[in-house]
């Protein structure tokens, strides 16, 4: 992972939590980073604080999958088309991943 990818990764983590933590009751549940040769793959899951073992852990979590290219290009995964596309807004990428 190069410095550009590291900066984009920290920005993505911060922005994702800020987007879904407006009331202060969400936390990052899962944050997986896979460093491939030229691409960094990221899976993020955000949910309510203390929702483990409840229906909220199944129904109320937001997930997204991204990849970061060598020069910092951010792409998100779309479940319906099953491929990656460039993203401009974080919220739009998350809603697109969920198929909403």
pLDDT in tens, the chain (100 residues): 889 888 888 888 787 777 777 777 888 888 899 998 888 988 888 888 888 888 888 888 877 788 888 888 788 776 655 666 666 555 555 555 454 4
Domain ranges of the chain: 3-98
Distance CA 93, CA 11 (A): 15
For tokens 């896979």, what's the residue? 34
Q: What is the pLDDT of residue 71?
A: 86
Distance CA 41, CA 76 (A): 10
Distance CA 75, CA 41 (A): 10
| Token pair listed for 20 | 């879904």
Beta carbons within 10 angstroms of residue 67's beta carbon: 18
Q: What is the pLDDT of residue 99?
A: 47
Distance CA 1, CA 65 (A): 17
Q: What is the pLDDT of residue 100?
A: 46
User: What is the value of pTM for the model shown?
Assistant: 0.72
């Amino acid at each position: 992972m190069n410095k550009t990818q590291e900066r984009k990764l920290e920005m993505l983590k911060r922005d994702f939590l800020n987007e879904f933590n407006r009331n202060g009751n969400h936390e990052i549940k899962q944050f997986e980073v896979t460093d491939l040769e030229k691409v960094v793959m990221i899976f993020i899951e955000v949910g309510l604080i203390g929702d483990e073992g409840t229906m909220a852990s199944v129904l109320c979590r937001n997930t997204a999958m991204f990849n970061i290219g060598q020069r910092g290009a951010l792409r998100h995964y779309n479940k319906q088309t099953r491929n990656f596309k460039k993203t401009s807004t974080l919220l739009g990428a998350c809603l697109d991943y969920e198929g909403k």
